[in-house]
Structure 1
Amino acid sequence: MNAKGETTWFNWTQHADHGPGAEVLSVEAGNRVLDLGCGSGGNLAHLATLGMCAVGVDLSPAQLGKARERWHDVSGLELHQGEALAFLADSSVTFDAVYSVFGAAYFTDPALMLPAIHAGLAPDGVFAMSQHPAVEGCYGCQASYIPRGPDEDPAVVKRWDYPPETWAPMLKEYGFRDVTAAILPAPVGSKRRIGTLLVRGVRAS
């Protein structure tokens, strides 16, 4: 339960009860939404409770197991294990919104991901993603080490970091309009000072 007393909610940032919510996606009951890298499914479950067909894909069986256990009683929730680009390529339906919250869009080359998302969206569908802001001067493909168990080497993943002024024209290049890209500052008084990059665009008809 969050500070407002809600049992489900949508959060784009790494800060609790902070920032915009599901309204960024401009969706309503009956719409189809896709979460790329849904993790344990909190955002996805919230959309399902609002009456949407909420579809999530994630590489991690462990994370999907948590999602199925926690949200087993939420109708309209559909979870898939796999790689985001492959899922988009194999999907026979289009979505009214596709989003990624510190998810697969962060860890996939945008030259591959953005065309795939564009193809998977219905006309006028919304794509939005959030991630950590890029470190100044450290742009493009970066390496991250993710800790695992005490007897395992860390996992090595790639991520793609760009400033807002790079993301905006990139989305336009791949067929999105009404593009916004901005860094949401951390909440006032928070000990964690890193903000959140939020990028949004609409699939041109």
Structure 2
Amino acid sequence: MADTSVAWDTYSAQRPERRAVNSCGDTTWFNWTQYPDHGPGAEVLGLPAHGRVLDLGCGKGGNAAHLAALGMDAVGIDVSQAQLHAAEERWGSVGGLALHKSEAVTFLRRAADVYDAVYSVYGAVWFTDPAALLPAIRERLEPGGTLAFSQRPAVEGCYGCQASYIPRGADEDPLVVKRWDFEPAAWERLLKEYGYTEVRAEVLAAPPGRRKVGTLIVRARA
């Protein structure tokens, strides 16, 4: 397996920047899916006014910056310095936003803070062993706090720990990282085993058009 920092730095170079505005003309917004202007927004997190929220695998920071712009105390972590540099370049002036370089489980185990919500959009929940991550998240959530995450739905028959490939140059082998895929019902069972309640996992259909792959969205409470 590839060094995760190197892998996600490589991935960062391949990702386009978030648009300057969305279809509504907003300069910040929350997006759970792989499609622009599609799906629910920050309301999924059920945050109180001026709540504290943690983004696991914040990437280039757009979702966390939106929450900070709404008045939240938003913390984003990522293992990729390249991703964080891009986030600082674009969103560093947004008040209430803090960014840290760290692996998710390490950060959660060392943290003293608790959060009203923890979330991951195609981020650390997809790429971290849930046996280590889910208990660590629960320890850092306020009672009744929300865990929410999104990722691609599992390929039929390919469940549990899988290999995920990050392409490089034409003459280079792709980098390989681990990811964890489960059907919605399996995610619900797993979260309940780790003490979460009000668990709901469902696949949101792709927007109309040629695209067929939807988005798995999971929400639970501590």
TM-score band, normalised by shorter chain = over 0.9
Residue aligning to 2:219: 200
CA distance in 1, matches of 2:172, 2:28: 34
Which of 39, 53, 61 pairs up with 1:19? Answer: 39
Does residue 44 (structure 1) correspond to residue 64 (structure 2)? The answer is yes
Hey, which of these two has a bigger chunk of helix by percent?
2
Give 1:194 deviation, angstroms. 0.5
CA distance in 2, matches of 1:43, 1:200: 17
**Aligned residue in 1 for 2:22:** 2
1:28 and 1:51 in contact (8 A); partners too: no
What whole-Å deviation, never above 9, does each CA across 1:24-81 have from its counterpart, x for those lacking one?
A: 0000332110000000000000000000000000000000000000012210000000
Q: Does 1:68 align with 2:68?
A: no
1:106 is paired with a residue of what secondary structure? helix
Q: Within the alignment, does 1:81 sit opposite 2:101 as a pair? A: yes
TM-score, reference length from structure 1: 0.96
TM-score, structure 2 as length reference: 0.89
Distance 1:100 1:15 in 2: 16
1:33 aligns with 2:53: yes
Aligned positions of 1:49-198 closer than 5 A: 49-150=69-170, 152-189=172-209, 191-198=210-217
Q: Separation in 1 of the partners of 2:170 and 2:57? A: 25
* Runs of 4+ with deviation above 4 angstroms: 149-152
Work out whether residues 28 and 50 of structure 1, in 8 Å CA contact, stay in contact via their aligned partners in 2. no
| CA contact 1:57–1:84 (8 Å) conserved in 2 | yes
- The one-letter code sitting in structure 2 at the alignment partner of 1:144 is S
Shift of 1:152: 4.4
Using the alignment, how far apart are the partners of 2:189 and 2:38 within structure 1?
A: 27
- Structure 1 distance, partners of 2:99, 2:171, is 30
Distance 1:41 1:151 in 2: 31
Letter in 2 for 1:195: G
Residue 124 of structure 2 aligns to a residue in which SS?
coil
Q: CA deviation at 1:175?
A: 1.0
Specify the alignment match of 2:16 in structure 1.
Answer: none
Unmatched segments (≥5 aa) in structure 1 = none
| Structure 2: distance between partners of 1:98 and 1:78 | 14
The count of corresponding residues between Structure 1 and Structure 2 is: 202
